[in-house]
Amino acid sequence: MSAQGPSDPDVAVETGSQVPPAEPVRRAEPEPEPESRWHRALREVATGNAIISVLAVVLALIVGAIMIAFTDERVQAASGYFFARPGDTFVAIWESVSGAYSAFFQGSIYNFRRPDFAAGIRPLTETLTFATPLIAAGLGVALAFRVGMFNIGGRGQMLMASAAAGWVAFSFDLPFGVHMFVALLAGLLAGALWAGIAGLLKARTGAHEVIVTIMLNYVALYLVTWMLRTPGLLQAPGSNNPKTPPMKDTAIFPAILGDGYNLHFGFLLAIASVVLVWWILDRSSLGFQFRAVGENPNAARVAGINVKAMYVYAMLISGALIGLAGVSQVLGTVTTGFSSGIDAGIGFDAITVALLGRSTPWGVLAAGILFGAFKAGGFAMQAAEGVPIDIVLVVQSLIVLFIAAPPLVRAIFRLPAPGSASRRPRPNVTKEVEPK
C-alpha cells in the first residue's frame, strides 16, 4: 500500500486492495469488496456452522434420551429379563423416549391433539411467552459481555425491577396505558440503578463487578423478602403471606393475540429491545465505544474513550434490559401478585442465553426462543410423562457446550474441518518420526 506513493493514500486504505492510483475508486465492482451479508451467511452454512448447531441440538437430545430411558421404570423392569426377551427392553426404551419427546414437542410448538389450528398453535405462543423475559435478560447480560463485564446480578436486578413495577402497578390509580407506562418505567429504572451500582463502583473504585453483582443479588433478595412481608410496602393488605396484591388491570400488559393466549405485550417490547440493542451495538457511536472497551480497555483509553463512563452506561443499560425481564414477569406473566421467587432463575438462565447467542442481539433472540421452547416443553413433559424438568437444564447446557466446541461435534460425527485439505498426509508422518 505504501508503494502507491503520495497520490491518494486514503483511498488505498479504504479499499484495502491494490487499486492503481489513476483509476477511479468506484469501478464496476472489483472482487475484493467486503462480501455481502448473504454471501457470508451462505459461506457459514457451507463451512458447517449451521450444521454444527443442528448437530449440537441432536447430540444433546440423544443424551437426554439416554437419561430418560435409563431412569424409566418400565425400561428398568424390561431390562431385568433382557436376555430372555430383548425386544421388550427396546420397545420400552422407544416408548419412554418417544413419549417424552412428543410431549415435549406438543408442549412447545404444536399440539396435534387439538381440533383446530388456533388451539393447536397455543404451545408455540407459550414458548414465546417463556422466551420474553429470557430474551430481555439475555440481551442485558450480552450487552455487558460486549463491554467486557460479567453481570451475574440478573436475579437482583429482576427482583428490584419487579418490586418497583409491581408497586406502581398495584398501588396507583392511573388511566389505562399511562399506568402501564409508568410501571414499566419504574421497573426499568430500578433494574438500571441496581446494576448501575456495580458499574459505578467498578468505575470509581475498581471493585470487581462479579463480586458486587453477586452480593447485590443477595441484598435485593432479602430487601424484597422484607418488603413482601411488611404491611404497607409490598404485602397484600389483610394477608399474612409474603405476597403482593394482584396488579391493577390498567397496568397489565395486554394480550397481543387475544384472551385465549398468554402471549403479552412484553414480547413486543423484547423484540423492540433486540432491535434497540442491535442499533446501539452496531450502529451507534456509543456501541462502538462499548465494543472498543470490551476488546481492549487500555487501547480504548488511549484512543480517547472514557472507559469508566462506558462501564457505568453499559451496566445501566444492561440493568434496564434485565429490568424489562422482571417487569414482563409481573405485568405480563404472573399478574395475580408475586412473591420473592418471581425471578424464576431467569437471571441465571440469561447468562446461558447470552452465551448461546454469542452476545449478539439476534443470536440472543434465537437462543431465547429456543430456551423458551425448552421451558414450555419441559413443563409439558413433566406433566405428561413424569420426567423431571431438570432434564431441560442438562439438554440446554449440553447444547451450549457442543456449540462452543465445533471440533468436538465434528469429531463425533466425523465431519471434515473447514479448509482441511491437508488432512490426509498427516498420519503417515507423525508416527514414524518421533523426536526426542
Partner 1 sequence: MTTATQHNAAAPQEPALARTVVVSWKAPIAFGVITVLAAILFLVAGQGGEAVFRISAAGDALQLPEIVLDATVVAWTSTILLLAITVASALLVRSERKVPVWLMAVFAVVFLIGFLTWAAAGARTNVIPVAGLLAGALSLSVPLIFGSLSGVISERVGVINIAIEGQLLAGAFTSAVVATATGNPYAGLLAAGVAGVLVSFVLAAFAIKYFVDQVIVGVVLNVLVLGLTSFFFSQVLAPNATTLNSPPRFERIPIPILSEIPLIGPTFFRQTIIVYLMYVAVAAVYIGLFHTKWGLRLRAVGEHPQAADTVGINVTGTRFWNVSLAGAIAGLGGAFFTLGSVGAFNKEMTAGAGFIALAAVIFGQWDPIKATLAALLFGFASNLQNTLGVIGSPVPSEFMLMLPYVVTIFAVAGLVGKVRGPAAAGKPYIKA
Question: Would you count residue 150 as binding partner 1 (CB under 8 A)?
Answer: yes
Q: Does 215 bind partner 1 (CB under 8 A)?
A: yes
What track of x and - describes contact with partner 1 for positions 316 through 355 (by CB under 8 A)? --------------------------------x--xx--x
End-to-end CA distance of the chain: 45
Q: How far is the CB of 398 from partner 1 (least distance, A)?
A: 7
Q: Are 198 and 379 in contact (CB under 8 A)?
A: no
Give the shortest CB-152-to-partner 1 separation in angstroms.
Answer: 7
Q: Quote the CA–CA distance of 75 and 89 in Å, as a whole number.
A: 6
Kindly tell me the number of DSSP H helices and DSSP E strands found in the chain. Answer: 19, 0
Instruction: Count the residues in the chain.
Output: 436
Burial class of residue 408 in the structure, from the number of CB atoms within 10 Å of its CB (0-12 exposed, 13-18 middle, 19+ buried): middle
For residue 45, what is its C-alpha cell? 452454512
Compute the distance between CA of residue 160 and CA of residue 375 in angstroms, rounded to an integer: 24
Question: Are 166 and 330 a contacting pair, CB within 8 Å?
Answer: yes
State yes or no: residue 96 binds partner 1 (CB under 8 A).
Answer: no
Span interacting with partner 1, options 14-22, 36-44, 222-230, 289-297, rule CB under 8 A: 222-230
- Number of residues near partner 1 (by CB under 8 A): 43
Check binding of 407 to partner 1 (CB under 8 A): yes
Among 54, 268, 404, 412, binds partner 1 (CB under 8 A): 404
Is the separation of the CB atoms in 123 and 369 below 8 Å?
Answer: no
Residue among 45, 62, 275, 405 that touches partner 1 (CB under 8 A): 405
With CB under 8 A as the contact rule, the residue among 67, 274, 324, 367 that binds partner 1 is 67
Give the integer Cα–Cα distance in Å for 319 and 151: 9
Residue closer to partner 1 by CB (options 126, 349) is 349
Q: Is 428 exposed, middle or buried (0-12, 13-18, 19+ CB in 10 A)?
A: exposed
Helix residue ranges, H only, 336-405: 346-356, 361-385, 390-404
By the rule CB under 8 A, 219 interacts with partner 1: yes
Q: What is the rounded CA–CA span in Å between residue 322 and residue 346?
A: 9
Q: Does 49 bind partner 1 (CB under 8 A)?
A: no
109 binds partner 1 (CB under 8 A): no
Q: With beta carbons less than 8 A apart as the criterion, state whether 204 and 319 touch.
A: no
Positions 362 through 391 that interact with partner 1 (CB under 8 A)? 388, 390-391
Closest separation between CB of residue 387 and partner 1, Å?
8
State which residue, 212 or 364, has the beta carbon closest to partner 1: 212
Write the interaction track for partner 1 spanning residues 282-321; mark x where CB under 8 A is met and - where it is not: ----------------------------------------
Which range, of 33-41, 80-88, 317-325, 401-409, touches partner 1 by CB under 8 A?
401-409
Sort 74 into a burial class: Cβ within 10 Å, 0-12 / 13-18 / 19+: middle
Contact with partner 1 (CB under 8 A) among 2, 36, 205, 422 = 205
Q: Is 287 helix (H, G, I), strand (E, B) or coil?
A: helix
Window of 22-30, 185-193, 223-231, 327-335 that interacts with partner 1 by CB under 8 A: 223-231
Residue ranges that bind partner 1, judged by CB under 8 A:
67, 71, 150, 152, 201, 204-208, 210-212, 214-216, 218-219, 222-223, 225-226, 230, 348, 351-352, 355, 388, 390-398, 400-401, 404-405, 407-408
